């Protein structure tokens, strides 16, 4: 009987932990990132009434690099086709790596061409990493114009899956 009670208590506590994560992830979290220009940016810098995509990445992650190349190709298609699935979204690329690594990533990928992309490091605070419970990169969270979570990808998604979600926000 004692073992059964302990098992039930354990199951209830696991359920509550998962429920808390779902509740807290519904809105854009507070963050403080040091961007490529050595300036701190926070969620207060986001424009109101625009959707947000937060990408937790690593500059040396091949999946993250491939996704960035795909984004660049998509931006080119959008200019050619006069569409705005990706360019209307505020993209925040966050990492834990050193500033020099994101400066190199920013330069090598030519991200200065995309004013809707912010890139920065949270350093060793790991605020976003803990908030999202990131286990692999890239981790992507897409928020609506009102700041409500629409979809989170905890593994590398296909670009078409991201664009499908972005068309709805």
Residue-range definition of the domain harbouring residue 99: 32-167
pLDDT at 4: 47
Say which CATH number the domain at 145 has.
3.40.30.10
Q: Extract the residue ranges of the chain whose pLDDT is less than 70.
A: 1-24
Q: Residue 145, exposed/middle/buried by CB under 10 A (0-12, 13-18, 19+)? A: middle
Torsion of Cα atoms, 59 then 63 then 67 then 68, to 10°: 20
Residue 69 inside a domain? The answer is yes
pLDDT at 56: 98
Residue 150 inside a domain? The answer is yes
Residue 107 inside a domain? The answer is yes
pLDDT at 25: 73
Count of CB atoms within 10 A of residue 167's CB? Answer: 9
How many distinct structural domains can be found in the chain? Answer: 1
Residue 22 inside a domain? The answer is no
Residue 3 inside a domain? The answer is no
pLDDT at 106: 98
Please state, in angstroms and rounded to a whole number, the distance separating the CA atoms of residues 160 and 121.
27
Q: Indicate the pairing of strand 40-42 with strand 149-153.
A: unpaired
**Within a 13 Å sphere around the CA of 159, how many CA atoms are in the beta-carbon half?**
15
b/e map 2-23, b = 16+ CB within 10 Å: eeeeeeeeeeeeeeeeeeeeee
Tokens of 83: 């569409």
**Within a 13 Å sphere around the CA of 104, how many CA atoms are in the beta-carbon half?**
9
pLDDT tens digits, 13-36: 444 444 434 455 799 999 999 999
Q: Indicate the pairing of strand 90-95 with strand 117-121.
A: parallel
Structure letter (DSSP) for residue 27: B
Instruction: For residue 34, list its beta bridge partners.
Output: 40, 121
Residue 27 inside a domain? The answer is no
Dihedral sign from CA coordinates of 152, 157, 159, 165 = negative
pLDDT at 82: 86
């Amino acid at each position: 009987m004692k073992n059964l009670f302990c098992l039930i208590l354990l199951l209830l506590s696991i359920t509550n932990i998962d429920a808390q994560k779902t509740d807290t992830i519904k809105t854009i979290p507070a963050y403080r990132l040091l961007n490529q220009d050595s300036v701190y940016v926070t969620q207060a810098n986001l424009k109101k009434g625009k959707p947000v995509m937060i990408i937790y990445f690593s500059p040396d992650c091949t999946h993250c690099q491939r996704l960035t190349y795909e984004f660049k190709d998509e931006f080119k298609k959008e200019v050619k086709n006069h569409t705005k699935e990706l360019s209307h979204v505020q993209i925040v690329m966050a990492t834990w790596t050193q500033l020099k690594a994101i400066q190199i990533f920013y330069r090598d990928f030519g991200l200065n061409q995309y004013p809707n992309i912010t890139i920065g490091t949270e350093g060793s605070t790991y605020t976003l990493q803990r908030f999202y419970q990131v286990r692999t990169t890239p981790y992507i969270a897409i928020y609506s114009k009102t700041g409500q979570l629409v979809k989170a990808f905890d593994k590398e998604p296909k670009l078409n899956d991201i664009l499908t979600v972005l068309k709805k926000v």
